[in-house]
């Protein structure tokens, strides 16, 4: 009996190119991360598809929710790919391309509500670390894993470590470790993202790849430098900035939230211009959340709220900014940015990421805002 493929071998056979050549009648289970298509979503989708494929007789295919060419804007994932799989680049298929008709079953990772355009899709599994939206109550046990940990890759890694064969795939463990370190800021207490589960999984993965705390720090710093490379951010178009780490929330009016890794003053004006150039295709309310490290080495967060139509949606902007400013947890202080129909803030609580801000804002828009 032939040995099962390694993660590196398996993923090389599940690229966009191989999917296009796949027989149309072959039943597949799609595994997809969220709309942000960040490192956590990309790697957790690829890793979970591999893990589930090696445990059963179903065929799994990982996907990303971004244009295939925009994967180049995830150099941190490319660094992990090249280091641990020797593959020159990430080449996973996108849900924005024409999906094979044979895929009507989906496993969601790093989110728990289907966001792709697949009318006949059935969600057959969830592995996520965000607030539970309460969808798909029929899923239970191992088919519904939603826990508030620092990284979705933590949950994927735990499944692998607890159910893997005797010989663990070290490159896969290395990739998962790298993403968890990124998501938890190298397990930093200041960031407030790491949980006891993350700590346990990081130690177990580290033992497989032979990484001590010094090697983990070096890996994190390399990944962070790749992710925040000033040259890449300077060369990004306004469309790429807005779409870089984007999520859409249906909260009665439609809310879009984009995360950035540069100060808002550098990009706010051109981002807002791009949003409004989209016309009715843009959400009525858009939130830009910026997180970066300043020259003193401290984590900084900033937040900007803008509306699609500065005149028509002025009451909506007023309602939302009043709500946000009254939220003592965020510790907001207004910034001086002169953009019509937009308000920007310094955010004192750097631990309040989009994962925490989005549920509160959506709850307000659904039930508390008079301007819906």
Q: What digits encode the pLDDT tens for the residues 155-172?
A: 999 999 999 777 899 999
User: Residue 221: what are its φ and ψ, rounded to 5°?
Assistant: -65, -40
Residues 78 and 221 in one domain: yes
Distances (CA, A) of 68 to 33, 144, 344: 14, 28, 32
Q: Could you give the maximum distance between any two Cα atoms of the chain, in Å?
A: 69
Asked whether the predicted pLDDT for residue 250 surpasses 90, the reply is no
Residues 216 and 301 in one domain: no
Q: Are 180 and 202 in contact (CB under 8 A)?
A: yes
Residues 181 and 268 in one domain: no
> Domain boundary at 226, 249, 275, which?
226
Asked whether the predicted pLDDT for residue 22 surpasses 90, the reply is no
Residues 222 and 237 in one domain: no
CATH of the domain at 246: 3.10.310.20
> Domain boundary at 185, 204, 226, which?
226
| Burial of residue 240 (number of CB atoms within 10 Å: 0-12, 13-18, 19+) | middle
> Domain boundary at 207, 226, 245, which?
226
Residues 137 and 210 in one domain: yes
Name the β-bridge partners of 268.
none
At 86, the pLDDT band (50, 70, 90 cuts) reads confident
Average pLDDT of the chain, as a whole number: 92
Residues 29 and 169 in one domain: yes
Residues of the domain holding 88: 7-226
For residue 1, tell me if it sits in a domain.
Answer: no
For residue 26, tell me if it sits in a domain.
Answer: yes
| Burial of residue 368 (number of CB atoms within 10 Å: 0-12, 13-18, 19+) | exposed
CATH of the domain at 27: 3.90.1640.10
Q: In the chain, pLDDT over 70 holds for what percent of residues?
A: 95
Residues 182 and 297 in one domain: no
d(CA 160, CA 164): 5
Residues 198 and 331 in one domain: no
Count: domains in the chain: 2
Residues 133 and 247 in one domain: no
Residues 297 and 318 in one domain: yes
Strand-by-strand arrangement of the 60-63 sheet: 60-63, 28-32, 103-109, 122-128, 144-146
């Amino acid at each position: 009996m032939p040995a099962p493929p390694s993660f590196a071998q398996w993923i090389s056979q599940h690229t966009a190119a191989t999917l296009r050549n796949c027989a149309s009648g072959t039943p597949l289970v799609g595994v997809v991360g969220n709309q942000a298509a960040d490192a956590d979503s990309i790697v957790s989708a690829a890793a979970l598809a591999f893990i589930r494929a090696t445990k059963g007789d179903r065929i799994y295919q990982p996907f990303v929710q971004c244009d295939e060419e925009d994967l180049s804007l995830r150099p941190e994932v490319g660094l992990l790919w090249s280091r641990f799989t020797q593959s020159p680049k990430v080449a996973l298929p996108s849900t924005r391309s024409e999906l094979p008709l044979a895929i009507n079953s989906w496993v969601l990772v790093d989110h728990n509500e289907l966001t792709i355009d697949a009318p006949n899709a059935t969600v057959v599994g969830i592995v996520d670390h965000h607030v539970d939206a309460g969808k798909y109550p029929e899923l239970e046990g191992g088919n519904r894993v939603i826990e508030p940990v620092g990284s979705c890759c933590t949950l994927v890694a735990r499944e692998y470590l607890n159910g893997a064969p005797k010989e663990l795939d070290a490159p896969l463990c290395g990739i998962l470790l790298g993403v968890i370190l990124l998501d938890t800021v190298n397990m930093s207490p200041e960031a407030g993202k790491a949980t006891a589960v993350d700590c346990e999984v990081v130690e177990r993965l580290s033992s497989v790849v032979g990484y001590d705390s010094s090697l983990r720090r070096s890996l994190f710093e390399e990944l962070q430098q790749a992710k925040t490379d000033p040259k890449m951010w300077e060369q990004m178009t306004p469309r790429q900035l807005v779409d870089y780490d984007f999520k859409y929330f249906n909260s009665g009016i439609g809310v879009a939230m984009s995360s950035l890794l540069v100060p808002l003053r550098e990009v706010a004006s051109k981002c807002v211009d791009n949003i409004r150039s989209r016309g009715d295709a843009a959400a009525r309310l858009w939130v830009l959340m910026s997180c970066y490290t300043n020259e003193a080495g401290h984590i900084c967060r900033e937040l900007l709220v803008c509306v699609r139509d500065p005149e028509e949606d002025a009451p909506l902007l007023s309602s939302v900014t009043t709500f946000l400013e009254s939220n003592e947890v965020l510790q907001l202080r207004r910034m001086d940015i002169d953009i019509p129909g937009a308000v920007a803030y310094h955010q004192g609580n750097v631990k309040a990421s989009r994962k925490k801000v989005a549920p509160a804002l959506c709850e307000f828009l659904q039930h508390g805002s008079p301007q819906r």
